[in-house]
Structure 1
Amino acid sequence: MDAGEDELISIGVFAARVRLSAKALRLYDRLGLLPPAYVDPVSGYRYYRPEQVERARTIVHLRHLDMPLAEVAEVVALMGRDGPAAAERVGAYWADVEARLAGQRALVDFLRARLDGRTSLMSERYTTETADVPGCTVLSLKRHVLVGELPAWIGTTLDRLHAVAAEECGGVAAAPFVVYHSEVSQESDGPAEVCVPVRDARAAREWAARHGNGVGVREEPARRLAYTRITKAEVAQPMILNAFEAVERWITERDLRVAGPCREVYFADWAAAGPTDPVCDVAYPVRTPSGP
């Protein structure tokens, strides 16, 4: 061993001290999360230093939160140089977990009620109404996307189109929305279309002609929408599917006809909203059987 060998701790002793198996320590070494301080060139045996104990215990705590290893690596990389940033990263991860759990909790309540025969829960949880929405000019971006990619893609695209609308097209004229032209699931990729209504149609077309890079401009016709309002937690998959189902059932019960692809209308500030705050209308364009 090199100088300072008295400070080195064998992998067995280190594993017991930090409550990790030797197998886990070897994995974390391969991933670059917790490389040993010294590896015997002959035996390949690993040794650690006392100052690595805190890093190892932090990894253990993060894994107890079910944090993926890639995100654990991000936090650990920040530990030595920017503690507040590391703490913020943990907070952001847990906020995402709580949002997901809120959606799953609502889904569990819904499924328990459905399975034990309380079918009235559908109408109790979701109140469906209609609204007449005027036509508008929209900036839009359409893409084939699977359900796991959907939240990040919607968020990024909305930010992009909002910025263009504000800077180039006279501002945002109405709530943005996402149109599903075909099913989006783990196996089906839509396409889906993000739309942001703009105030200046001419400016939007000129901008798209110069800089569109996939972004188009189109006229969205006036529509009558049947919709139900949901919270931020309920937007998560698969809970949101129950809202779509509730609107579909309401439409059928009233002998209306679906007159276009389903959509999500985002009327609230997503970043500022909490899990139980209303943020989105799940909607279908509708008409009467004799209507246009």
Structure 2
Amino acid sequence: MDEDLVTIGVFARRSWLSPKALRLYERQGLLLPAAVDEHNGYRWYREEQLETARLIARLRRLDMPLTAVAAIVAAEDPQTRADLIGDYWSTQEHATAVRRELVTHLRRRLLDDPEGFTMYDVKVRDVPEQTVLTEQRHVKVQELSPWIDEATGRLLKSAAGHGDGIVGPCFIIYHGEVNEDSDGPVEICLPVDPTGPVDAAVRVEPAHREAYTRIIKAQVGYPQILSAFDAVAQWVSSQGLPVSSSPREVYFADFGAAAPSDEVCDVAFPLD
């Protein structure tokens, strides 16, 4: 046996991984022993495998799944490894931010706390008349996000050949309640140049005033976004203002590129 080989017990102590974990990573093809005794099944590892083993141990302390760990270990370029770790952590931070907002929403609902809505800054603005490409569908909440992505892609493709293209932020109108039991309908609207050729469903969204509040990306998910809708509705009611049309979400930022704490959306109620 080579002198630089060590037993699985010694390797486990020096790598901060248990023998059980090392056997699991062997089965996963993540960290293979340098040698296995064909008679007694003893496993042996080389000194130079310690760096990989210690990297695996540190990554697992991040609760990183084995598939993600395997991708990082397989990457030969240090920059690629660093980028993969950064991407993973960004995803985890976003998920944590979303859960934090969901906890806040659930606590507010359970405690029936009207004062909790004071965290939302509600303002009023004028919105000019807009020509919009539109797509509408009855859809329940579990189907909402995939449909929004697909429909927005279709509208963007249509807008590319529509005059000067997009001239305002995309907005989503909820003509009816959308949840696990109700299906709207929901309408996606993409403002375009009114002089362009019509190659999709198009209509005019009338000029109006609207009450709105601005929210961050982590607050957009369902059901926590309902807190923003409740806050604007409560503010409108407290001001004695009549609502003239269906509530909506107005997306003014690059949602995919935004961080969890970036402002991306206005929840708005048109007013008479």
TM-score range, shorter chain: 0.7 to 0.9
- Per the alignment, residue 173 of structure 1 pairs with 167
- Per the alignment, residue 13 of structure 2 pairs with 16
Name the SS of the counterpart of 2:212 in structure 1. strand
Structure 2 runs not aligned, ≥5 long: none
Q: 1:281 aligns with which of 254, 257, 266?
A: 266
CA distance in 1, matches of 2:30, 2:206: 55
Q: 1:121 aligns with which of 92, 112, 116?
A: 116
Name the SS of the counterpart of 2:201 in structure 1. strand
Answer whether contact 1:140 1:196 (CA < 8 A) is retained: no
CA distance in 2, matches of 1:119, 1:43: 69
Matches within 5 A, 1:77-226: 77-78=74-75, 80=76, 82-105=77-100, 119-129=114-124, 131-138=126-133, 140=135, 150=145, 162=156, 165-166=159-160, 170-180=164-174, 183-184=178-179, 194-199=188-193, 203=197, 205=199, 217-219=201-203, 221-222=205-206, 224=208, 225-226=210-211
CA distance in 2, matches of 1:232, 1:273: 7
CA distance in 2, matches of 1:204, 1:5: 76
Counterpart amino acid of residue 201 in structure 2: V
Q: Is the aligned partner of 1:56 residue 2:66?
A: no
Residues 1:26 and 1:115: Cα distance change in structure 2 (over 3 Å): same
Give the alignment's Cα RMSD to 1 decimal.
Answer: 4.0
Name the SS of the counterpart of 2:26 in structure 1. helix
1:200 shift after superposition: 5.9
Residues 1:21 and 1:191: Cα distance change in structure 2 (over 3 Å): farther
Deviates more, 1:112-121 or 1:228-237: 112-121
Counterpart amino acid of residue 217 in structure 1: A
Answer whether contact 1:100 1:236 (CA < 8 A) is retained: no
Residues 1:257 and 1:164: Cα distance change in structure 2 (over 3 Å): closer
Structure 1 runs not aligned, ≥5 long: 206-215, 288-292
CA distance in 1, matches of 2:13, 2:164: 63
Q: Is the aligned partner of 1:30 residue 2:14?
A: no
Answer whether contact 1:9 1:49 (CA < 8 A) is retained: yes
Answer whether contact 1:133 1:223 (CA < 8 A) is retained: yes
Name the SS of the counterpart of 1:259 in structure 2. coil
TM-score (normalizing by structure 1): 0.70
- Residue identity over aligned pairs, in percent, reads 41
Name the SS of the counterpart of 2:191 in structure 1. strand
For this pair of structures, how many residues does the alignment match? 269
- Per the alignment, residue 75 of structure 1 pairs with 72
1:267 shift after superposition: 0.9
Answer whether contact 1:128 1:250 (CA < 8 A) is retained: no
Answer whether contact 2:134 2:203 (CA < 8 A) is retained: no
CA distance in 2, matches of 1:114, 1:28: 44
CA distance in 2, matches of 1:204, 1:52: 63
CA deviations over 1:18-48 (Å, ceiling 9, x no partner): 2122222233233332233334444444333
Q: 1:246 aligns with which of 204, 211, 231?
A: 231
CA deviations over 1:61-81 (Å, ceiling 9, x no partner): 222222233322222222x2x
Residues 1:154 and 1:25: Cα distance change in structure 2 (over 3 Å): farther
Residues 1:46 and 1:241: Cα distance change in structure 2 (over 3 Å): farther
CA distance in 1, matches of 2:151, 2:108: 36
CA distance in 2, matches of 1:14, 1:43: 18
